[in-house]
Structure 1
Amino acid sequence: MALERVWKKSTYSGTNGGNCVEAALVPAGAAVRDSRHVRLGALETPHHEWTALVAAVATGSH
């Protein structure tokens, strides 16, 4: 049985309902999608790549 994904977006995105990036944890890492075009699917990335991206953004080294 597949688990339902819990999509999250940054609190900086506001409440306008669109033009945001959403992320969800998946067994192999993370999935990322465009909140305006959710029907187009999501890009999945391994855990080590997701944590490296989050660390780079958090430290400003992106």
Structure 2
Amino acid sequence: MNDSAAEWRKSSYSNPDGPQCVEVAALLGKTAVRDTQNRRLGHIEFDAPSWAAFLGTIPRN
């Protein structure tokens, strides 16, 4: 799926007061992630187990 067809939202893990933001979108059984400031670079995709493992490594604010 291309970036324009996805419904992107700011990740709840993003810094609400700073420039370090990522956007996420659900894509046919996967989660896509892209840099808010560099959308033109595309996105990366995670399957459900990989996404859960990735989130487990990120400290919440």
TM superposition score normalised by structure 2:
0.65
Find the structure with the greater CA-based Rg.
Answer: 1
> Equivalent residues in 2 for 1:23-62 (5 A)?
23-54=24-55, 56-57=56-57, 60=59
Give aligned-pair identity as a percent.
Answer: 31
Aligned length: 56
CA RMSD of aligned residues (A): 2.8
Runs (4+) of structure 1 exceeding 4 A deviation are: none
TM superposition score normalised by structure 1:
0.64
Unaligned runs of 5+ in 1: none
| CA deviations over 1:23-59 (Å, ceiling 9, x no partner) | 11111311000000101100011111112223x157x
